[in-house]
Each structure stands twice: as C-alpha cells, then as structure tokens.
Structure 1
Amino acid sequence: MRAIVVIENRSDLPSDSGDGSRPSASAAAVLLRGGYQVTAAATCEQALPLLSSADACVLAVPISVYSDWRVSISSHRALPTLWWCSERTANVLPAAYPGVITTDGILSPGMSPAELEWSLQLALGQFQTRRQWVKEREQLLTRLEERKWIERAKGILSSTRNIPEAEAYDLLRKQAMNERKRIADVAASIVNAYQLLHK
C-alpha cells in the first residue's frame, strides 16, 4: 500500500488554540516522510478523481464529521479508510460521541515510518475482513429471502393439491429443473400467481 489520498478539509478543523503550542504535523507531511505517494484534497469533489489510483484514504477531519466523509468516499470506491487522530481532529471525547464509527485504522502525527507501515497493513487486513463479512451477510440475507419464497410456495402447493410438504418441495424442484430456473424463482412465481388469484 503506497498511494494514499489525504483529505484534510481546513474549514472542518478548529483553528489553532493560540496557546503558543506548536501545531501538529499534517497527515500529508507525515506520510510523505514515511515514503508514501500522497495526493491531498480539501473537498469531496477534489478527492473523488484521485481515489481511482489510491490504495487507501486518510481522513484528517474532525471525528464529528468523519462518518459523513467516509460514506461519501465509500459510495465512490471501496478502499481502506483511516482516520487521522490529532489534537485538532479529536474534537469530541469518545464517551460524548453518540455515533458509531467505522474505520479501518487510525494514524497519528507522532508515528514512525515503521508504525505507519504496520498501521496501514493492519488497516488493509481490517478492510478486507469487513468486505468479506458484508459479502457473506448479503449472501445469507439472499438465501433467507429465497427460503421464505420456497416455504410459502410449499405451503400453497401442499394446501391446494392436498399433498405433504416434502412432496410439494419435490414438485417445486422438478418444475425448476424442467424450466431451467432456480427453485426460488419458481417458488416466487407460484406465490405471486396465488396472491394474484386470491386477492
């Protein structure tokens, strides 16, 4: 993971405190020193074209707006998204933050190149795991929905033909093979036709 887009919207960041403390290094500067190819953007419009060639995205924005930025980025392209945690971006204490934060990792100004590399590699693994979970969840929801159609169709066939449900399932399976369709599609057709006839 070498090419990183850093989004730092200065209008979202609080102004320096004026207490004489040195401002922390920017995310882009720290990543550049770590040997990464960094492109920076201040707005979503600037960032979107840069995402196509990026390996990851670092959001140097206050945690209070992080989720909004992450949704905008992920709707364009799925890639590991990390939060840049600094005094300026950690504008809300964790206990006071009401939302759920989904991030693949956290980076901070004081990280060494080795720490950056480890954090980015762990973020990549987290991102891949999360994507796999989303894919498996979608597959399970699809199977569950298909199972509902099949169960309804079995019930309809069982009651209208006065046969046991096991026989109704065999009838569904045979019809699906004859029509070269999936059993769930045949079941949905039966349920829809039955509901149309009995309205």
Structure 2
Amino acid sequence: MPNFLIVECGVDNTPLESALLEGGSETVSIQYGPSFIAQVKEIRPDAVIFNLESPSEALLADLLALSRQAPLPVIMFAADGSNATIHKAIQSEITSYEVNGLDGNRLPGIIQVALVRFKHQQTLKQALQEAKIQLEDRKQIDRAKAILINTRNFTENEAYHTLRKLAMDRNITLGQMARNVIAMAELLK
C-alpha cells in the first residue's frame, strides 16, 4: 500500500486525499514550512504530492535540496502553467508537474507514471555516476602508468600489470591503487 505525503500549501486538498484513500493509499498531511525537509526524511513517504497555485522560489529550492539529500518522487498539481514556472519546477527535479490537472479519475495514472519515471531517472543517475567514476579511474590509471613508465622504465603493459597486481594484493580497486601511486610519487618529489 503506497504511502503519500500531502504537503499543505493553502489549497483545499480534500479531493486529493479522497481520491488517494479510495485508491487504497495511506496519506499523511503536513504544512509546508522551514522544517519541510526534516519532516519528509522522518516520514519517509513513497512520494510527495503538492496541490497549489504556484510553487514559491523557497519551495523549489527545498525540493532541489531534498532531491540531493533523500530523492523521492515529487508530484505537483499547480494552477500556474507559465513556461518560467514549469522550467524552474523541472530544474528542481520535480518528477511530475501537472497544470490544472487534479482530476480524481486521472490521479492513479498520473501517480503511476510519476513513480515509474522517478525509478527510471534514478537508474540513469546511477549509471551516469558510475560512468563518471570509471572515467576518472581511467584517467588516474593512465597517469599512474605514466609515472611507472618514467620512474621505473616499464613498458605500458608492464606498468598496467604492476598496478593490477598491486591492487589485487591489497584487495583494492585498480583506480584506488592508481591514486595511491600518484600520491606516493607526489610525496617523493
């Protein structure tokens, strides 16, 4: 049973709460305020839902901070359909921004799409982070090989196999071993 956090922002949320309860979901409501991020972390909902006229700059900043600290799907129903507001909302990593879209019949579909989209985005972010780490490791490995080639007169193949053997002997990654070699070379300069 999904658990949704409804954030009160001065708009009547009775239709939203009714539609969620009819769908078998649990809901918790809080008022938006300075302790918003702490409350979300404490409640740990499956998704956060807003129904408001227009998101404030402070709210969008808090949502961006939340997405970096404790990523969650955020669904926002808003009356403000201006391009600037939509752009700012998307930059704040809101999963779904629905303009004048709070309709009880459409709500289950909107939520389902938002949850699937959020999972997909998280998978892409994780893959991007892993690719960045691999690229950085590759740079460090090449730099460490160059140090071994210059200081020990190794061939490129010998330098790579030496790094690999050292990493395996110490039970660390090749990237970490490369960083160790670089740090030692800088220390000995």
The TM-score bracket by the shorter chain reads: 0.7 to 0.9
Does 1:79 pair with 2:72?
A: yes
For 1:7, give the aligned amino acid.
Answer: V
Partner of 1:32: 17
Does 1:45 pair with 2:35?
A: yes
SS at match of 2:45: coil
If each structure's helix is expressed as a fraction of its own residues, which one has the higher value? 2
Does 1:93 pair with 2:72?
A: no
For 1:5, give the aligned amino acid.
Answer: L
Per-residue deviation at 1:113? 2.9
The 5 Å alignment of 1:1-199 reads: 2-10=2-10, 26=12, 28-36=13-21, 37-42=26-31, 43-45=33-35, 48-49=38-39, 52-61=43-52, 62-65=54-57, 66-74=59-67, 77-86=70-79, 90=80, 93-95=82-84, 99=88, 100-107=91-98, 111-198=102-189
Q: Distance in 1 between the 2:165 and 2:110 partners? A: 54
CA contact (8 A) 2:5 2:29 kept: yes
TM-score normalised according to structure 2 size: 0.79
Closer, same or farther: CA 102–53 of 1 in aligned 2, 3 Å: closer
For 1:81, give the aligned amino acid.
Answer: V
Closer, same or farther: CA 96–122 of 1 in aligned 2, 3 Å: closer
Unaligned runs of 5+ in 2: none
| 1:81-112 deviation per Cα after TM superposition (whole angstroms, max 9, x unaligned) | 011212xxx1x721577743422113466543
Closer, same or farther: CA 170–76 of 1 in aligned 2, 3 Å: closer
Q: CA RMSD in A?
A: 2.7
Unaligned runs of 5+ in 1: 11-24
Per-residue deviation at 1:171? 1.3
